[in-house]
Amino acid sequence: MGDNNSSPGSPNENPNNETETNQLPKDDSELESLVRKFQDSISMGKKHKFWETQPVGQFKDIGETNLPEGPIEAPTPLSEVKQEPYNLPSPYEWTTCDMTSEETCNEVYVLLKNNYVEDDENMFRFNYSKEFLRWALHPPGYYPSWHIGVRAKASKKLVAFISGVPARIRVRDEVVKMAEINFLCVHKKLRSKRLAPVLIKEVTRRVHLENIWQAAYTAGVVLPTPITTCQYWHRSLNPKKLIDVGFSRLGARMTMSRTIKLYKLPDAPATPGFRKMELRDVPAVTRLLRNYLSQFVVAPDFDENDVEHWLLPTEDVVDSFLVESPETHEITDFCSFYTLPSSILGNQNYSTLKAAYSYYNVASKTPLLQLMNDALIVAKQKDFDVFNALDVMQNESFLKELKFGPGDGQLHYYLFNYLIRQTLKSSELGLVLL
């Protein structure tokens, strides 16, 4: 079970979608990426001592069509699950992080703020808010014991963290109880201590103690073996700031004023009946979402409690809007995004990049393109600088049209102890992990 997220940064976008002269023709670039993947996988042999011991799809099995889909290892009797925590290097000790405590929540927040995922150029670092962390870690039925920290014994300082939350994830026709593993973070000064594998083994042990044997996680790096790889796309909402902080570049033959004009949005959403989601909408949104997610190979199995937790608007955490037909008052469409700022490292004028991340969107009556344009408009009204989306579900259908540019961040999705025979297309994935 692994690291969470891809890099927070730079889209390298080309706002006019002009073909740059140095771009390879499509087939060449695909060949090049295949070659790169092959070379990566050869060098993987050296890198994945730990993952080769784990029940995950292995590189050597890629293309094996006769392997059965489903759990790789059968559950162990609970009495045989290791009862004590794994050993840590002697200066360190385990701690369970009570995220309802303001003091502990702040410690986790500070650890992540200073040591979590950065982009390749070290210009941006994710800055999950305390409210966000509480929301992310307290879904229905959460286990406090899955919020795991490591402290230095002498100073009691929190130096590492990993978390799991329970989820029901459907893989084809099977609904599987899983842990979603997230926020694996080790203090920068301790990166050589091999703490990450111990954190992963410890969260695995605690998940097993609750009789759960599968997990889902994402990472910006290639591990054995992704079920799919997604691409981040970025839509400028505040292009001047994004260019000033180095998140994007001015396109060829583009001036700042032309760029600002290119990304300008209307002042208000266009769809009649477009409004913020409320508590009374939970049953209708649940029906809409369950029906929509049923088409994907891997997707969460949400009930009304999950929808209330994950999708009811929470200030500065998650925003959700829907379309209520002015005539019939039926709820026909739904869109949502979560708030994940990044710290801007080493810039004189700006300290924070305010980013919205596309979450779950369902268009049944309103065209998805129009629904997402309205989502961009409300995100702009709320002062977001950029709107990010992965090419999962049906997102690909609106990205180019709505002036999203491809980022350089890829996000790989993984399942622990569950084999899917073929790698999925990103459009077959109906799951967004935070």
Q: Which two tokens stand for residue 326?
A: 């002015």
End-to-end alpha carbon distance in the chain: 15
Beta strands at 214-219 and 174-186: parallel, antiparallel or unpaired:
parallel
CA distance 57 to 27: 28
Query: Of 5, 6, 187, 183, which is closest to residue 114 (Cα–Cα)?
Result: 187
CA distance 304 to 272: 26
CA distance 332 to 272: 11
Q: In the beta sheet, which residues pair with residue 216? A: 180, 415
Is 311 tagged catalytic?
A: no
Q: How many CB atoms lie within 10 A of CB 370?
A: 18
Distances (CA, A) of 76 to 50, 79, 181, 208, 212: 20, 8, 20, 9, 10
- Let me know if 32 is exposed, middle or buried by CB neighbors in 10 A (0-12, 13-18, 19+): exposed
Would the CA dihedral through 248, 253, 256, 258 be positive or negative?
negative
Catalytic (active-site) positions? 434
